[in-house]
Amino acid sequence: MNPITHLALRHRRLVALAWVGLAVAGVLTLSSTTGSLTHTFATPGNPGYDTNHQIQQRFGLDGNEQPTIAVLQLPPGQSMRTPVGQATAARTFAAVPRAGRVGVADYANTHNPKLVSADGRTTWALIDMPNPDVPLGQGVIDRIAPVLRAAAPAGATVSVTGFEQLQSGGGGGGPSTLVETLIGMVGALVILVLVFGSAIAVVPLLMAIASILISFLLVGALEQVTAVSFLVEYLVALIGLGVAIDYSLLVVTRWREERERGLDNEAAIRAAGATAGHAVVLSGLTVAVGLLSLIVLPVPFLRSIGLGGMLIPLVALAAAVTLLPVTLAAWGPALDRHRIHRTSTSFSRGWARWGRLVVRRRWVAGAAGLAIIVALAAPALSMNTGQPSTTAFSTATPAARTLQSLGRQGVPSAVVFPVQVLTHGGAAGAARVAAIANSTPGVYTSLAPATPSFRHGNDALVSVIPRAQGSTTAGKALVDALRSRMVSVPGGAEVGGNTAQNKDFVSAVYGNFPLMLGVIALLTFLLLARAFRSIVLAAKAVVLNVISLGASYGFLVLFWQQGHGSSFVYGVPATGAIRDFIPILVFAFLFGLSMDYEVFLLARMREEYDHNGSTPKAIVGALGHTGRLVTSGALILALSFLSLSTNPDLPVRVIATGLALGILLDAFIVRTLLVPALVALMGRWNWWMPARLGRMLRIPETADDPARA
């Protein structure tokens, strides 16, 4: 690390100008970068996605997009059992295409009695639409209700519902990513001031701003090669903030420690670069490996998140080992001159006492830490992946009240998750699909209009309304049942829709999860084994990370899926399911991010052990020097994620809270309780490195011996 620090200091003006120039370019291109992010969750090669893609090609409708359900209550005195009432409903629903490219299945084109209420005065229609993120579908969903109301006769009432309407709630959008980032920055600055007690607290924040802007610039460059998911925007802003501050916090703290030892400013910068800078590089590479592992999954949007997310720690570590030394050389002593408190920020007697207590009570500490983690991880075994239940959204919105009124008429809430069946056997094929569907247990009804919107040559689209929502076991089982029964349809038939695509997504992603886990575990193990010169410490780090992740999953199940806290904190009832892509994202990010603190702690532990040859002293010294750093960094990172949880998008909230809890749990339970207890229990074996593996990893020969204690 000395050569990099030396090079940066020797060319400090060039380094500063380069970072400023790239940051300015990031500002200038920010709008075009964020505007080019995609909202697709495509999974090519999977049956559900491929069927929905065919539906889009044939009919211009998105089979994966949840439809709008329009409900018409006729004027007093009119009934759907009379020609007048039927004509009124037909004219009203016939106006829907004025909103854009849609497919309308109503009583007029299906004559399905289940589209009419028991009293005959209310009727509903299923309206399929294009994807709202493509030009053909932009604004269509918002224009449907006004068009219907304009076409409805005097005295009639029109309302709409659907999954999109339920989750939007009809309200405004929440704070922007910029506002969320600013909230995180203010909170981070408060914590940094408390930690450092001087104006030096602003330096990590400056590193974060530069890192975020340049990360966005690189994401813009990545967009020239491949589509990048909109989720990367949130991750760059908030994870970039937390990671850049974490890395800067480590280096600045070590710089202070070296100055307190009597070194002059430049010598302290070089010494910090050789120790803390090395830990930062190792940590950044580990985080990047965790994110890059997403590319082994056969899902384009997850691969884009892996590639885009990988840039975040790499830019942050680059800032910590180049821009930060230059900044400290120019203004470090001046910013740190006036402190609110004179106590050392590089060593905490309180954390050293905690380390001694853990060493003395290693069995109790290890059992307590493990019990907490296991208790939180247990609920993860009941995790259900899929779209959240319709009951997870506010019941006070017009869309919720409309769905409730349909429920009172016997229409299941799963109407918002129809199964879309594409058949190629013409009218006979469509009739056969409808007959099979209607005879399948778990189906409420099927809609097969013979209109151009649903018929194209020999291709026909049939919407099957299930009784159970797609996130339930029964809803998923219905997809399998329909697929097995549709093999007898003349011309063939494929099953699509949102539930089918989500189900196939889970099979594709989590079927490859062992491969992803193996790749990330192996690469991380090799990186850490070489850095710590110990296979025991490296293996322990990987295993504890996986266990810690289980606890984070358990929290997601308790808090969101089962609703123990989500309603009180966010006003969101139990979701009944966790979106299928969330666990894999939480895994990729938490595996890398939590490794930050493992690296900070174990790197210092290795350094202390090399200095004094005593495992207990190494534990106490490492906790004394890094305990405050790890917990402060975790608080900053968690605060960044919690600011992101103010976003109204439910999946973003779930990801943000899962990451925040995971970081806090990892820092306060795993790294400062469980890890030191296990290191104390294993004694001399912590430092074991087989000679053959050491040679393979090109580890310099040392006098280390497992017999040393």
**Fold of the CATH domain 68-161:** Alpha-Beta Plaits (3.30.70)
User: Taking the domains of the chain in order of start, what are their residue ranges?
Assistant: 1-35+197-346, 68-161
Tokens matching residue 507: 């099979």
- Longest CA–CA span in the chain (Å) reads 96
What does 119-181 look like in DSSP terms, one character per residue? Answer: TSSEEEEEEE---TTSGGGTTHHHHHHHHHHHHSPTT-EEEEE-HHHHHHTT------HHHHH
pLDDT at 170: 46
How far apart are alpha carbons 430 and 449 in whole angstroms?
Answer: 9
What are the angstrom distances between the C-alpha of 528 and each of 55, 268, 282?
49, 26, 8
Q: Give the CA dihedral 653, 656, 657, 658, nearest 10 degrees.
A: 120
How far apart are alpha carbons 259 and 265 in whole angstroms?
Answer: 7
In the chain, the amino acid numbered 254 is R
Tokens matching residue 45: 């090669």
Residues of the chain with pLDDT under 70: 1-2, 169-177, 341-346, 700-709
β-strand pairing of 122-128 with 68-73: antiparallel
Q: Give the CA dihedral 320, 325, 331, 335, nearest 10 degrees.
A: 50
pLDDT at 348: 82
How far apart are alpha carbons 180 and 655 in whole angstroms?
Answer: 15
Model pTM? 0.82
pLDDT at 413: 94
Tokens matching residue 430: 């469509």
- Which phi-psi region, left, alpha or beta, contains residue 123 (left: φ > 0; alpha: ψ -120 to 50)? beta
Q: What is the CA radius of gyration of the chain?
A: 29
pLDDT at 524: 84
The answer to whether the CB of 322 falls within 8 A of the CB of 4 is: yes
Q: Do domains 1-35+197-346 and 68-161 have the same CATH topology?
A: no
Quickly tell me which residue has 């358990």 as its tokens. 554
**Of the candidates 148, 64, 66, 58, the residue with the CA atom closest to the CA atom of residue 99:** 148
pLDDT at 320: 93
How far apart are alpha carbons 97 and 376 in whole angstroms?
Answer: 51
**Is the C-alpha dihedral spanning 89, 97, 457, 487 positive or negative?**
negative
Interhelix angle 47-59/498-511, nearest 10 degrees: 140
How far apart are alpha carbons 580 and 561 in whole angstroms?
Answer: 12
CATH code of the domain made up of 1-35+197-346: 1.20.1640.10
